[in-house]
Each structure stands twice: as structure tokens, then as C-alpha cells.
Amino acid sequence: MSFAASLAQSIAGLNVAQQEAVNYLHGPCLVLAGAGSGKTRVITHKIGRLIQAGLKPEQVAAITFTNKAAAEMRERAKGLIGKSAQGVLICTFHALGVRMLRQDGAVLGLKPQFSILDSDDVTSILKDAGGSTDAATARQWQWTISLWKNQGLNAAQAEAQASDAQERALARIMARYEERLSAYQSVDFDDLIGLPLKLLRDHAEVRERWQTALRHVLVDEYQDTNATQYELLKLLVGERGRFTAVGDDDQSIYGWRGATLDNLKKLPEDFAALKVVKLEQNYRSTSAILRAANNVIGPNPKLYPKTLFSELGEGEPVRVIDCDNEEHEAERAVARIQSLRAGHGDSPHREWRDFAILYRANHQAKPFEKALRRAQIPYKVSGGQSFFDRAEVKDLCAWLRLMVNNDDDPAFMRAITSPKRGIGHATLAALGSFASSYKLSLFESLLSNSLGSVLSGKTLGSLQEFGRYVNDLEFRARHTVGAEPALTFLMDWLKDMGYEQHLYDAEDSEQVAAARWSNVIDFCEWMAQRCGGQIDDTAGVTTAAETKTLLEVVQTIALLSTISEREQDQNVVTLSTLHASKGLEWPHVVLAGCVEGLLPFKLDDEQGAGSDDLQLRLQEERRLMYVGITRAQRSLAVSWLRRRKKGRDYIAGVPSRFIAEMALDKSTVKEDPREKLRALRAEFAKRAAENEKTQADRPT
């Protein structure tokens, strides 16, 4: 069957609203995709339809918010349209920003090999810029500066609109922070949106080139965009406005990090020809679950009213479980999981992976972990420590970043001390002072003829040897192509600098050291895979035939937050915060801790918060509850506490107002999973006894 015929047949299988969204090609389109309404299916089919209509694959871009979502979309597009999918740019906003800056950043004074700083690097630079030794203070500065950047403000603009002396002082710290980033030829994650925006806004020739290159842009999870991302999108698509924004205002839960529903309000104002398509048929949940979800979200004001419906039947009633305290809540959640998994009659066998326990804040996980371990039920805590947050992986990333960008001072400081090379703090302090006085990077200072005036011959020799070693590694990495050569390079490098011994020397426990070394091996194998062209989850699609140099792969490394291949398809119960659960689904969900003060979260705790601010926060908390409810496919239980911990004390628990808003049937709502489990066990015991009697009564 031809591509066109196959695609037409596949589109014919979509519902009417989905077909309308897919077939509208020549103008701006907003697809309001309710939870579970098949938005990824719509996006991938629209990619195919655009190519069928005459666009080249490389003229189509689909922008997501996570590497995982990009990888899933890439796979779905490949399954639908075959090899054509390889040319489509499917990536995150940040990966698109990297691509733009690598290609055109020179007009902003950026070298193509600029470094991308992680959160720890930013904290360290801010401590220096603000003259503080307190990491917690620096992280608070980091948070505020990030919000300013997401609002499109630079240091001068932030100072001009500062409301008090404290904000003015922070704006001046931001200015010093910006100076350091420029000197280090480095950017932070917010710059990966802000600088491409500056690129398109201030340089007409660059803007025209990108608008010509990308003829249709699709944006997933549009409700999560911030002000800067919206302005970037506008400049990418230009006045012709050929884009498809797919999102759901009812699932906007990231206001605390700059996401704004104003972007949905602005679309019809900025693009008068905007076509709006609503996807209201849910393919995930039963009617009972959707009714609870629709009731909860009902009180929120609506930009575009919609009501989800399902053709999957009524299903089990949503249950409410009242609990004495956190430990009791965990016991009842585990009992529910055990009883559902045991099943009855003709019910299907259920795996551990079919269950999730969701909650508002990370600290709520502990009692559930204890109860699951006690019951010997395997589980994972979603949103745990990222692979790239492990010290040993950060060490190696610092070395690789320094190879790519010698001006990356944070990477220099980490690499030169991991492992230690006999270069102490006093030497590094002297090098830092020298670099500051001559306005050089630390690495540039190693090559200066004047450095001998402040450092002794032996110390100077050690520093210069380090510099030569990095340059040699960079040269070899630039000429290392393909998976096997890359792995050989990396393993030889680790052996040469004695990194395995460094890990064992640093740990009292051999077991811990061995686990850390195992992470290092995993990291090296993972890097080598990318050199072989097997995987590319940062910037577009890599075919199996494409290979890359190790240096090219290193340039994408700071964008990756997890080695997703390590976490595939584990048969375990999931524990997750509500924020981390967005975009996921499970057959059976327990939504825990539904009490006032947790969900919704501390609405009256902020001094000076106006009634409008509190109302906006309540609306976002209600959307968070809605997201939690709509993660469930077949069954949902909501639990609350009669008393809950607050610090070292217990306080009375009040059921969340959202439970009442769900408007559940009082006759079916209450459940005691322990009673259900006891009844199941009694039934099994009865059946076993009957079977035994039947066997005994049979003639021999």
C-alpha cells in the first residue's frame, strides 16, 4: 500500500474532531486536547498529512517539553510515515534552542562550542557573583532570576521594575551573573529559550532563514509554555502563522515555574484566523472517573469550555478511603493494591505496573515506601535522583564539557580536582585571581607567559600538564567516530587518569564504590551508543546509518536529564508526585493525602497574598487534582487523613474541598480495602476447602 493510501486509511480511523485538527493545514490551529483524548495521535497524523500535502519532512518541527515525550513522538511518527519521519525535527524547546545557537549564536558573540551549565554550576556562580557562601540563599536567587528570565527580563529590566531594595540588590547580582556567563562562553537552561528569542527578534536575516526553514511548527503541551517560549514561537512562525498548538487549559499546573494561561488568551488576539478544535472524547478512563474529573474542574473559569466523555462504560465507582494517619493510609493503599491484584471471578490478572500511588509533595512517599517494603511489593519512586545528578557522572561531564569549551570555568574547577592531581586550593585561588585580573578564563590563564610570576615552577608545571592533557583529549575526541572507537577512547581515558581507583579511595564501602564505577561504565556505554547513531533524544532524529564524533555527542550532553533506557517497563508499583505524573496513566490509581493544606496546598500561609492571588493558586491546585483523577483508567481511590503530621506534631485533618466537588454517589463511595482483602482470602480458603473435599470424594 502506498504512503498516501496508508495514511488516508489511518486518518479515517480517527474521530471527527481529530480528523478536523489533522486536516486543517493552511493556518494557525489550536487543538484543545482533553486528558486521554489522543493528542499524540493527532500530532503524528498531522505531521504525516503535512508531508503528504507537499512539505518536506525537514520543513516540519514538533516541539515537546520532555526528551521522553520527544522520543515517544518520534517512534510513533516513524511507525505511521516510515523513513520520512527521520527528517522531521522532533525535539524539546531547549534542544531547538541549542540547535539555533550552535548554528547562529555567533551574531550574539557565542562560540559554537559554548557550554550549557547545570543547576549546581549556576548555584556556584551565583554564590561568587553575590559574595555568599550559603548554597540555599544562592538557590533562592537562582529561582527568582529564572522566573525573571522566563518573563523575558534581563538584569537591567529586572532592576528597573524591582519593588524593593532586596529585588534591586538581586538584579545587580543577576547583572554580575550575566557577565560571568558571557566570560565563560556558557548559558543556563533559561538562556536556551531567551537567547534564541533575542536572535530572532534582533536579527532579521536569521529570523527569515528560520521561518523559511520551518514551514509548520507543532507544539505539544502548549498550556505549559511561558512568556518567552510564546514570543519565540511567534517569531518562528511569523505572520503566516502556520502552526498547531496542542494543549489543555485544565491541565496547566506549572504556574510556579513561569507557565501562563495568558498564552492561550493571546492566540486569538495575535492570530485572528485561529481555528479552534476541541477533543473531548476520552479513550483512557471510565465514565465514573471522568464524571468526577469534570465535576472537580467545573468551578474553574473556562477559556474554552469542554466536557470529557467516554465510551468505555460506567466502570467501578470512585472510592473515598478515610484514614487515621499517614501510616494507616499507607496500609490501606497497600491492602487495596493486594485485593485488586488478587482479583475475583473472571477479572484479568493484574501486574504491579498497573498500580500507582500519587501525592502532592515528595515527603509523602516515605510511609508508602515502608508499607510496600513490608508487604514485599516492588516499587519505584518517580522523579528520584537523576542519573546525571550522580557525582561520578557529573565529574566525567565536567571533563567532557571542558574539552568542548575551554572557557567553561565551572567545568575546569571540577575536572582539575576529579581525580585530585596534587593541585591544591591555594594554587587554584592564585590561578583564579590571576585570571580575574587579566580577564581570562582559567584555562586561558594556563597558557599565559605571565603566570610564572605568581606560581612556582613545580605548581606551574602541573597546571600546564593538565592543560596539555585536556587539549590532547579534545583532539582525539574530535577524530573519534562511531560507537566502538568512542567506548575504547572513554575506557582508555578513565584508565589513564585512574578514575576507578579514585572512586575506591573516596569510599569507605567497596560496595558503594563498585556501584559508582558501574554507573561510570553505564555512562560510557550510553555515550558510545550515541556516537554510533543509535539514539538521539536531544535534537532531531538520528538514523542507524549516521555516526557522530564523540565531541559532537558531548555538545548535547547537558540537555539530557536521565538515561531513559535504564527505566523501561519495570514491573513495579509507581509512587509519584502529581506534577511528575502528568502525561502518564495507570489502570488503578490511589490519590493520597487529599486534605486541606496538602491538596489544595497551604492557601492561607503566605503573608500579604491578595485574594486574587489566592484564587489563582486555588484554581491551579484544582487543575492538579484534575490531572491526578484523569491518570486513572479503570479504578480510582481517593484517601484523606483524620489527623496528619505537621513538623513533630499532629493536627486535625480536614477532607480536601475537592472530594466534595467530585460529587460522588454517597451509597458507593466508602471502601475499607482491608475488609475486601479479608473477604477475598476467606473466599479463596473456602474454594480451597471445597476443592480438597471434591478430591477426597472422588473414587480411587
Read off the pLDDT of residues 575-586 as tens digits, 9 standing for 90 and up.
999 998 988 999
- pLDDT the model gives residue 308: 93
Distance, CA of 336 to chain centre: 30
| Rounded Cα distance, 584 and 53, in Å | 32
Helical packing angle, 165-183 and 135-150, nearest 10°:
90
Three cell numbers, residue 428: 587554584
Residue 359's nearest CA partner among 599, 633, 588, 571 is 599
User: Is residue 39 annotated as part of the catalytic site, yes or no?
Assistant: yes
- Determine the average pLDDT of the residues in 204-217: 94
- Which residues have C-beta within 8 Å of that of residue 105, sequence separation ≥ 6? 111, 112, 114, 195, 199
Residue 546's nearest CA partner among 534, 529, 560, 528 is 534
Does the pTM exceed 0.85? no
- Res 596 pLDDT > 60: yes
User: Is residue 92 annotated as part of the catalytic site, yes or no?
Assistant: no
DSSP code of residue 109: T
For 315-338, the pLDDT digits (tens) are 999 999 999 999 999 999 999 999
- Res 37 pLDDT > 50: yes
Three cell numbers, residue 162: 524591582
Pairing of strands 115-116, 186-187: parallel
Residues 259 and 226: beta-carbon distance below 8 Å: yes
For 366-418, the pLDDT digits (tens) are 899 999 988 889 888 886 566 677 889 889 988 998 988 888 888 898 898 88
User: Is residue 251 annotated as part of the catalytic site, yes or no?
Assistant: yes
User: CA neighbours within 13 Å on the CB side: how many for 283?
Assistant: 10
- pLDDT the model gives residue 348: 64
One-letter amino acid for residue 309 of the chain: F
- pLDDT the model gives residue 386: 61
- Res 609 pLDDT > 60: no
Helical packing angle, 39-52 and 16-23, nearest 10°:
40
- Which residues have C-beta within 8 Å of that of residue 198, sequence separation ≥ 6? 108
Q: Quick check: do 3-104+193-279 and 293-385+568-682 share a fold?
A: yes
Greater model confidence, 203 or 615: 203
Three-state DSSP class for 387? helix
Domain 293-385+568-682 belongs to what topology? Rossmann fold (3.40.50)
Percent of the chain with pLDDT over 90: 44
- pLDDT the model gives residue 539: 39
Residues 339 and 688: beta-carbon distance below 8 Å: no
End-to-end CA, the chain: 63
Residue 637's nearest CA partner among 371, 282, 298, 334 is 334
Question: 3-state SS of 219-252?
Answer: ECCHHHCEHHHHHHHHHHHCCCCCEEEEECHHHC
- Determine the average pLDDT of the residues in 59-79: 89
Catalytic residue among 39, 46, 49, 401: 39
User: Is residue 221 annotated as part of the catalytic site, yes or no?
Assistant: yes
In our burial notation (b when 16+ CB lie closer than 10 A, e otherwise), range 119-153 reads eebbbbbbbbbbeeeeeeebeebbebbbbbbbebb
Element (H, E) at 573: strand 573-577
- pLDDT the model gives residue 235: 95
- Which residues have C-beta within 8 Å of that of residue 205, sequence separation ≥ 6? none
Greater model confidence, 229 or 699: 229
Three-state DSSP class for 34? coil
Three cell numbers, residue 265: 488568551
Which one of 65-74, 112-121, 156-165, 689-698 scores highest in mean pLDDT? 156-165
For 432-479, the pLDDT digits (tens) are 888 878 888 889 998 888 888 888 888 888 898 999 999 999 999 888
DSSP alpha helix (H) spans, 3-118? 3-12, 16-23, 39-52, 67-81, 93-104
- pLDDT the model gives residue 244: 96
Cα dihedral sign, 79-83-85-91: positive
- pLDDT the model gives residue 541: 37
- pLDDT the model gives residue 567: 46
- pLDDT the model gives residue 636: 96
Domain 115-184 has CATH 1.20.120: no
Three cell numbers, residue 418: 576529579
- pLDDT the model gives residue 563: 42
- Res 674 pLDDT > 50: yes
Q: Please, what is the average pLDDT of the chain?
A: 86
User: Is residue 327 annotated as part of the catalytic site, yes or no?
Assistant: no
Catalytic residue among 74, 99, 623, 631: 631
Catalytic residue among 104, 118, 221, 596: 221
- pLDDT the model gives residue 259: 76
**CATH architecture, domain defined by 388-560:** Orthogonal Bundle (1.10)
- pLDDT the model gives residue 423: 81
For 178-197, the pLDDT digits (tens) are 888 887 888 999 999 999 99
Residues 263 and 225: beta-carbon distance below 8 Å: yes
Catalytic residue among 18, 40, 364, 538: 40
Residues 357 and 637: beta-carbon distance below 8 Å: no
The class (CATH top level) of 3-104+193-279 is alpha beta
- Res 561 pLDDT > 50: no
| Rounded Cα distance, 613 and 258, in Å | 15
CA–CA distance from 515 to each of 368, 430, 485, 493, 560 (Å)? Answer: 26, 36, 25, 20, 21
Q: Where are the domains of the chain?
A: 3-104+193-279, 115-184, 293-385+568-682, 388-560
* Residue 112: pLDDT band with limits 50, 70, 90: confident
Range in 67-81, 284-298, 626-640 the model is least confident about: 67-81
Catalytic residue among 113, 142, 228, 251: 251
Greater model confidence, 109 or 214: 214
User: Is residue 128 annotated as part of the catalytic site, yes or no?
Assistant: no
Catalytic residue among 118, 121, 191, 220: 220
Bridge partners for 638 per DSSP: 320, 591
